[in-house]
Structure 1
């Protein structure tokens, strides 16, 4: 009987349907291709240098031109920046780094991007307090403004009237640089005139510079807040026949600014490291996508949501040294000091 039961059990087992194989695990969804967008403010050599940094980062990080987009409007245009952000939000890009011409106006669109899962960072111009921007990459603009003011103090120890030209009355970088400059000259005999706003238009900047010089024949100095303001002042000063007489302090190290320094028309410029701003904007968004926000911020050395790219004060006295620094870092520039020597009495800035 036992043998019959065993046999029956074997027959039943043989007739039973096979145990279904476990279902294959679902293939994980492929990660979306990395796509990073950097949005600047206007067509200008300064922003060309930012783009060079963006392109260098893409090359070094193994990203194609299709994966890293750089865009600027023809001139400062908040509506165009918003529209461009909306376009890339709809495309679902990985990250957007923007230099907001008006941080208050851009914040709502930046928030929309963040809510869509896009990494949002800022460069060149700080965002509003409490912004969704994960990090600001650029200059400590207030401190840089103070440095510019210190340079003007050294150039005008007896004081005098100083004109101020800038491209915006709302962008934080313009306001902070102006505030820092004004703070530095407090308690001196330097009288700062009301800033004139060219709305980031170089032709308007030149017209305004000419107007300030005409209205103030005793003008002793001029401060250029944006990259084209220095050349605008320099051109106006040359046209007025006052080169060397009106002391010019400005921002950035574009080719035209360097040439005016070599001519002795611009006396000092506070050079931002805009190449680094572009480079690090691409670098950090890629890191955020690969390692997460906190890890990326830590790796890039962010402090309180800021990566300070620093500044260099350039005068005729140290221009050759500055060029050597750029060459050592492999940072491209279209100007050269070859065949040029600074005058013996060239202004030499001393940081106090």
Structure 2
């Protein structure tokens, strides 16, 4: 039942419509989950909104949540250090939003050793690196960025005249 709360929180957080596919039975009041969440730097408004969404959905679903964030979008080591500290505490599951595909892998080893669910949100953890470290992510909830980019490109083609010059602004590498 505690896995239900973790997956429900992660699913609700991102507004995904797949909750019914994940949920086998409703959680009971006496089965309140304790969830750890680690997100990217709150110097980015998107991740401020993510933190707010996690906290609001936890409250709405009767889940106790502790949210930690990297100091900034480039603080991969600090984010991993925060997760390492959270991994030593007694949480039922972990929501992780890594800065890079690898920065949280080692910090998740003790989580996996305790057989706690790991819900990877928004930015993926490299599955090969996770496997090499001896664990697998329980589930990933996020956007297919390749498909989203294709949709954005198709829409842009409708909006600009043929032959227009378009600039591509990259996000965080990795």
Deviations 1:315-340 (A, max 9, x none): xxxxxxxxxxxxxxxxxxxxxxxxxx
Q: Is the 8 A contact 1:122 1:136 kept in 2?
A: yes
**Counterpart among 83, 101, 110 of residue 85 in structure 1:** 83
State the Cα distance separating 1:33 from its structure 2 match.
Answer: 7.3
**Counterpart among 141, 156, 163 of residue 159 in structure 1:** 163
Q: Which is bigger in relative contact order (C-alpha 8 A, separation at least 6)?
A: 2
Q: Is the 8 A contact 2:84 2:108 kept in 1?
A: no
Residues 1-352 of structure 1: matches in 2 within 5 Å?
Answer: 34-43=33-42, 44-63=44-63, 67-76=64-73, 77-130=75-128, 131=130, 132-170=136-174
TM-score of the pair, normalised by structure 1: 0.36
Structure 1 match to 2:12: none
Aligned partners of 2:125, 2:163: CA distance in 1, in Å? 35
Higher CA-based Rg: 1
Do the aligned partners of residues 103 and 80 (structure 1) sit closer, same or farther apart at CA in structure 2, a change above 3 Å counting?
same
Q: Is the 8 A contact 2:96 2:119 kept in 1?
A: yes
Unaligned runs of 5+ in 1: 1-30, 171-352
Aligned partners of 1:36, 1:150: CA distance in 2, in Å? 39
Unaligned runs of 5+ in 2: 1-29, 131-135
The 3-state SS of whatever aligns with 1:154 is helix
Q: Is the 8 A contact 1:92 1:116 kept in 2?
A: no
**What is the CA RMSD across the aligned residues, in angstroms?**
2.2
The 3-state SS of whatever aligns with 2:102 is helix
The 3-state SS of whatever aligns with 1:70 is strand
Q: Number of aligned residue pairs: give it.
A: 137
TM-score of the pair, normalised by structure 2: 0.69
Aligned partners of 2:91, 2:105: CA distance in 1, in Å? 18
Deviations 1:208-244 (A, max 9, x none): xxxxxxxxxxxxxxxxxxxxxxxxxxxxxxxxxxxxx
State the Cα distance separating 1:164 from its structure 2 match.
Answer: 2.1
